[in-house]
Chain A
Amino acid sequence: MITKRIIPCLDVRNGRVVKGVNFEGLSDVSSPVELGKYYSDNGADELVFYDITASAEGRALFTDILTEVAKTIFIPLTVGGGINTLEDFDRVLKCGADKVSVNSGAIRNPDLITQAAKKYGDQCVVLSADVKRVNGVYRVFAKGGRENTGMEAIRWIKSCVERGAGEVVLNSIDTDGVKGGFDLEMLDAVCNVVNVPVIASGGAGCKEDFITLFNTLPKVDAGLAASIFHFGEVEIADLKKTLQENGINVRL
């Protein structure tokens, strides 16, 4: 059967990997090419590459660094950040991406998902949603978590899947960077309304958080994290061994 996936995320700015707490206060971590290769060689099931500032700065994603990353890794690669048009899809796919993640671009123009799914297939289109509770309601945020769109998140995610998004990355702004565990409540709400893979993002602080994630929510397909992997607090190979010991099906 299909394994649960562990996915390190490279948030890239100016060609370097960065990771902020609650998306602010960015600090330099390392070279995306070196980190990507390290992860590809050391048990990561997939790599996500976000040009986190592309959308806020209104420019296209850096494709030269992306090409370098794609050349050195031999696991699936998802790319996002500043994806607004079918031409953007085409450009990053030609650089070696397997899937393309849309966020602000889909909020501005939901039809982007429909068109991309038709042209490249559902499996190629990943919806990335930044979600935060505002007065007890899940709201979708745009531009790297900077702007409240006012849209109700669960309904938004469901509509994107109906348009052809083949996978959902759910980033909880509430738990991101806090390292207190994934946002199980928010994830459960999303899993209940979609029948495509859901990737949990935001909040992982230790190995136990992944065990809790997969044991509590068997419908979640993957766990994504950045800083705990980049700083070596959690080694992916060690994490997967622990998951297996806890009866969770992973690729070793």
Chain B
Amino acid sequence: MTLPDPLQDQHRYIPNASEDVREMLGVIGVDSIDRLFETIPGDVKLDRMLDIPGPWSEIESRRWFRELAARNKTAADHLSFLGGGAYAHYQPACVDQLLLRAEFLTSYTPYQPEVSQGTLQSIFEYQTHQCMLTGLDVANASLYDGSTALCEAVLLADRVVKNRTKVIIARSMHPQYTATVRTYVQNLGYEIVEVGWTKEGRIDLQALKRACTPDVFAVAIQSPNFLGVLEDYDAIGAVTNGAVKIAVIAEATSLGIVSPPGKHGFEICVGEGQAWGVPTQFGGPYVGFMVVKEALKRHMPGRLVGQTVDVDGRRAFVLTLATREQHIRRGKATSNICTNEALIALAANMYLSLMGKEGLREVAWQSMQKAAYLRDRLLASGKVTLPFSGAVYNEFVIRTSFPAAEILADLEHEQILGGIPLAQFYAGHENDFLVAVTELHTREHLDRYVGVLSAAIARERR
């Protein structure tokens, strides 16, 4: 069959038209574009056009995609209390506007420093923010997200502590983070040991102590953990028996108020930077961060930007310690990561700069105070219990006498996305759900939540 000559249908993203093509073919010395594809054997060439929709105009695309988006029930038209590793915080208007600057949006990895100082300097600033916030020494340019950052942290610990095979992960770690680690290390001969929690919702220190045998190379905990409860870094550090201590921060704004892991002897802090003003956008793109003690810097995965000077003595920034990376060390690299989340790290840098010392504290303070207000009001209502008594930041578990799914369906009916059912992660928690509060919630929102939830429970009781 003859395929239509696509050169007849000019496309708006492809400038060269028939006349250009003719001239260029002349210079190349062939009479048709097909001749350029002769090295692809006939028996693997497609003898038809792809069977896919399009081409669409912008008008058609807007119509179709917006119609699809409208089918979602989201925080755009509901009052949302969803967290569990993805949090809706205030997004300053100028961050997204600045991200759209083509020089940031459409540039590549800064391999050529003379024409990439904007990206390089921003990463250097981002690294500095990460160090200040976590109380550790060296941060990288970014990893994919919190879950894969934890994977990289575990692998890093294994490189440092040789000849041990066990890694302990708190059962209160984000369950999808732990699941991702299981996938990553499935062929590496590790044993993953989970340690449970106490009635406060904190890691069970007795069980942790027993689990920390000499063959454990790393202990990974999350704080605030998946139940919302803050862990006691010092108490954990006291029983880990020489293993590398990894702290996971899934709610990054907590670092505005909560004492950072670096101050308590943790060697590695990894986490998810989404809460720094990045939209929840159904899970990605987000930005994973990793900050480590100075002694671990040469084991770091991913890119690092360092400061140096140019031939005229001007301060400048450049990708450095690159021999750790895949494009040089190939099979022996510290990680296979190449493309990371540079643009989201840039957004985080902008957010952290704009909020600054005061703003980061105020966001955290308000989120925590509002969560406490909601907790107090819920307790006062007498309709729910709080299964975990430990101190929380901005998220906590609610228990009712009814299946969480039913209660949450009632809330959804009132345009409230009321929480995340825990049963999908932990058996035996059918009546529990996780609720997150941020500075975006008003007192009225919180009162409304209490009212609608109380009414729903009252209805269930009938």
Partners in one complex: no
Residues of A within 8 A of B (CB): none
Residues of B within 8 A of A (CB): none
